[in-house]
Structure 1
Amino acid sequence: MAGSEQPFVSHLIELRDRLLKAVYGIGAVFAVLALYPGPSRLYDLLASPLVAALPQGSKMIAVGVVSPFLIPIKVTALAALGISLPWVLYQVWAFVAPGLYKHEQRLVMPLVATSTMLFYTGVAFCYFFVFGQAFPAIQAMAPASVSVSPDIEAYLDFVITMFIAFGVAFEVPVAVVILARLGVVTLDQLRSFRRYFWVAAAAVSGLVTPPDAVSMIALLVPMGLLYEVGILAAQVFIKHTQAPAEASE
């Protein structure tokens, strides 16, 4: 153990520097978004799918005393984190990459980049398509005697839940590739699990989406298609990310 203290301390220093760089990146993006377009405009943009579906003249309400100030700040912070995600993941990659073998780097780096893009795709799909279809359907089911005025904080909680649900659901190919590469399941098993995956995906879609068929199908179908994409991608990753000893065998 003699002489091991210094390398350990140097790793801690590098970890601290990487974390600080990640925080500085998020802070810089937050400052830019706070100046333009501003927290209020960001929340208006986030709420636009719901506002467009509300009856003519209806608006959202703020129940909490500080909600009109605090909720837009939260939206700005979340937007800064989302935009800075590639920078944060790069700092993580720069810290762990020197300790990986080349075949491990060929596996990890594409998975990190792909998972990031798939998460963004899931969030964008939820915002531009699902919200545009689900909110009008939900409002159409409201009784005529009910005045619909959603609370801004409740809406933010709902949006975060939906974004996370669709973002994670779009990570299905990455999960399939990792499980196949680690040897947890084989490609033949993945193919035979198709029918069970569709059942599980239908159950998840029914739990996390609003109570309308459009939202459920909008999550179920991409999950099923991405499962097939994951099987195809797993074949490629297993072939090109083998260790030298595995390749020789």
Structure 2
Amino acid sequence: MPLKEHLLEFRNRLMIAAAAIIIGAVVGWMIYDGVYDQLTLPFKEYEKTARADGDDAIVSLNFANATSAFSTQLGISIFTGVILSSPIWVWQIWAFILPGLTKREKRISLGVFATAMPLFLTGCFFAYLTLPKALIILFGFTPDDGNSSNIQQASDYFSFVTRFILAFGLAWLLPVFLVGLVAIGVLSGRTLLKSWRVAILLIFISAAIITPTPDPFTMFLLAGPLCVLYFAAVGIALVIDRRRVQSGQEPDWSHLSDDEASPLT
């Protein structure tokens, strides 16, 4: 395509993606009450747990000003729209790149797309399940002296919740990108296997950075599944390496030691 047609296609796909998010946000606005109840459910579970443990500290949500309730509903609706429309706008990104790929790269990218969406949504759901534990730890630092309270601004709470969920969802895409890099020949399964110590260290450092909470418990909740997913990606990458050798796409040098020179063919 000429550059002008590329730009026109980019504009069209951008408009489709934006329209999908807007429609999703409208749906999110319509189901706001249900989404609000679900996002505040971990908060309510913490309140029940605190009362059962005899904690008298006041913990509640607060809408600080006249526009706070409206802006909160708008933000949650947009967040819901992004989640609901994710298959559409991700597909638009993939479809824009598709014409420039080879037949083999198209098959690989389709597999990446088909795997990425379930992993992203699973990561978001896992974050939602672990959120009450994080709140129990964080709110547990509120002094139980009868005079202390932990009144949360609604905008701050929902910002924390949405960032928490998105951080988990995006982090769970790690194995998809690793397998994709192996499939196109940028990395190999042996390289990933030999670098597992460095990978584990980087996973824990990244988990400490991207999680919006400073407690180690939340970091382990994110880093633990990522370590499992990393080794799952290593296993798939080794299978890809073996198939590549069996098909004759590259010679088998796996029997050579790291300090032994390989023959050139």
Number of residue pairs matched by the alignment:
240
Matches within 5 A, 1:69-88: 69-88=70-89
Contact 1:191 1:231 in 2 (8 A): yes
Is contact 1:51–1:59 with CA below 8 Å preserved after alignment?
Answer: no
Instruction: Please give the alpha-carbon distance, in whole angstroms, between the structure 1 residues aligned to 2:181 and 2:59.
Output: 48
Tell me how far 1:133 sits from its aligned partner: 1.7
Corresponding position of 2:132: 132
Report deviation, 1:124. 0.8
Instruction: Tell me, yes or no, if structure 1 residue 174 matches structure 2 residue 161.
Output: no
Match of 2:8 in 1: 13
Find the aligned partners of 2:12 and 2:87 in 1 and give their Cα distance. Answer: 17
Partner of 1:234: 237
What corresponds to 2:92 in structure 1? 91
Report the secondary structure of 1:150's partner residue: strand
Report the equivalent of 1:122: 123
Q: In structure 2, what is the Cα distance between the partners aligned to 1:235 and 1:49?
A: 40
The within-5 A match list for 1:135-214 is 135-145=135-145, 146-209=148-211, 210-214=213-217
The separation in 1 between residues aligned to 2:217 and 2:233, in whole angstroms, is 24
Paired residue secondary structure (2:61): coil
Decide whether the 8 Å contact of 1:181 with 1:237 is kept in 2. Answer: yes
2:29 equivalent in structure 1: 34
Between the aligned partners of 1:18 and 1:193, the Cα distance in structure 2 is 39
Q: Which has the higher helix share?
A: 1
CA contact (8 A) 1:104 1:241 kept: no
Pair 1:50 & 2:74 matched: no
Amino acid in the other structure paired with 2:78:
A
**TM-score, normalised with respect to structure 1:** 0.83
Percentage identity across paired residues of the two chains: 27
* Stretch moving more, 73-82 or 191-200: 191-200
SS at match of 1:59: strand
Counterpart of 1:226, as a letter, is: L
Partner of 2:111: 110
Superposed CA RMSD in Å reads: 2.9
TM-score normalized by the length of structure 2: 0.78
* Structure 2 contact 188–238 (Cα < 8 Å) conserved: no
Q: Give me the whole-angstrom Cα distance separating, in 2, the residues matched to 1:239 and 1:102.
A: 21
Report the CA distance between 1:228 and its aligned residue: 0.6
CA distance in structure 1 between the aligned counterparts of 2:106 and 2:243, rounded to whole angstroms: 11
Closer/same/farther in 2, CA of residues 147 and 157 from structure 1, 3 Å limit: same
The structure with the larger Rg is 2
For 2:96 and 2:225, the matched residues in 1 are separated by: 33
1:24 and 2:19 matched: yes
> Are the aligned partners of 1:106 and 1:241 in contact in 2 as well (CA < 8 Å)?
no
Unaligned runs of 5+ in 2: 52-57, 252-264
Whether the 8 Å contact between 1:42 and 1:72 is mirrored in structure 2 is no
Tell me: CA distance 1:11–1:239, structure 2 relative to 1, closer, same or farther (3 Å).
Answer: farther
